[in-house]
C-alpha cells in the first residue's frame, strides 16, 4: 500500500522553511515601517489651473501633509524638521488630513501642538482613522 502526501521529514522541512520566510518578511516589514518610512518626506509641486477659481486665489499655495503618527519614532525633532520644510514652501494654507497619532495621543499631544504651532500659516486639519480609534477629543486638544 503506497502512502500519499508529505513525509514527516518533508513536512518538517517545509514548516521550517516557511518559518524562516515569515520571520524574514516580518523583520523586513518592521525595518521598512520604523527605519525607512518615518524619514520619507516627499515634496511635489502640482500646479493647477482651475478656470472657475476666484481671482483672489491666484498664486494661492497649499501644502498637504498627512499620517504624522507622532510617537517614539516620529520625534519632536523630526517633526520640527518637517515643519521647517513646510514653511520653506511659503504656503497660504497647510492642510493636515489626519493620523496625527498611532496610539496614546495623551502622551504625545503636547509635543505635537508645540511643534505644529511653528507652522507659518494658520493650519486646517481633518482627523484620520487612528485619531478616531485613540481619542479624538485629546487629538483636537
Distance from C-alpha of 61 to C-alpha of 46, rounded to nearest angstrom: 10
Q: What is the pLDDT of residues 90-132, one digit of tens each?
A: 998 898 888 888 888 899 999 998 999 999 886 567 788 888 8
**More confident position, 5 or 120:** 120
pLDDT for res 3? 60
d(CA 73, CA 17): 32
pLDDT band at 80 (very low <50, low <70, confident <90, very high): very high
Q: How far apart are CA 52 and CA 49, in angstroms?
A: 9
Res. 85: pLDDT tops 90: yes
Q: What is the pLDDT of residue 83?
A: 94
Q: What's the rounded Cα separation, in Å, for the pair 140 and 22?
A: 39
Under 8 Å between Cβ of 83 and 115:
yes
Flag whether pLDDT at 6 surpasses 90: no
Q: pLDDT (tens digit, 9 = 90+) per residue, 15-71?
A: 888 888 888 888 887 777 767 666 677 888 889 888 998 988 888 889 998 888 888
Indicate whether 1 pLDDT > 60: no
pLDDT at 87 over 90: yes
The grid coordinates of residue 51 equal 478656470
Q: pLDDT value at position 91?
A: 92
User: Residue 67: left if φ>0, alpha if ψ -120 to 50, beta else—which one?
Assistant: left
**68: how many CB neighbours lie within 10 A of its CB?**
23
Amino acid at each position: 500500500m503506497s502512502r500519499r502526501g508529505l513525509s514527516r521529514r518533508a513536512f518538517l522541512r517545509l514548516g521550517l522553511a516557511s518559518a524562516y520566510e515569515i520571520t524574514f518578511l516580518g523583520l523586513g516589514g518592521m525595518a521598512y515601517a520604523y527605519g525607512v518610512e518615518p524619514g520619507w518626506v516627499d515634496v511635489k509641486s502640482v500646479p493647477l489651473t482651475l478656470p472657475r477659481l476666484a481671482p483672489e486665489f491666484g498664486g494661492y499655495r497649499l501644502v498637504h501633509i498627512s499620517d504624522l503618527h507622532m510617537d517614539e519614532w516620529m520625534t519632536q525633532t523630526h517633526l520640527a524638521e518637517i515643519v521647517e520644510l513646510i514653511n520653506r514652501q511659503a504656503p497660504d494654507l497647510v492642510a493636515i488630513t489626519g493620523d496625527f497619532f498611532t496610539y496614546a495621543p495623551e502622551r504625545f499631544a503636547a509635543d505635537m501642538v508645540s511643534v505644529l504651532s511653528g507652522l507659518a500659516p494658520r493650519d486646517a486639519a481633518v482627523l484620520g482613522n487612528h485619531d478616531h480609534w485613540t481619542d479624538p477629543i485629546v487629538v483636537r486638544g
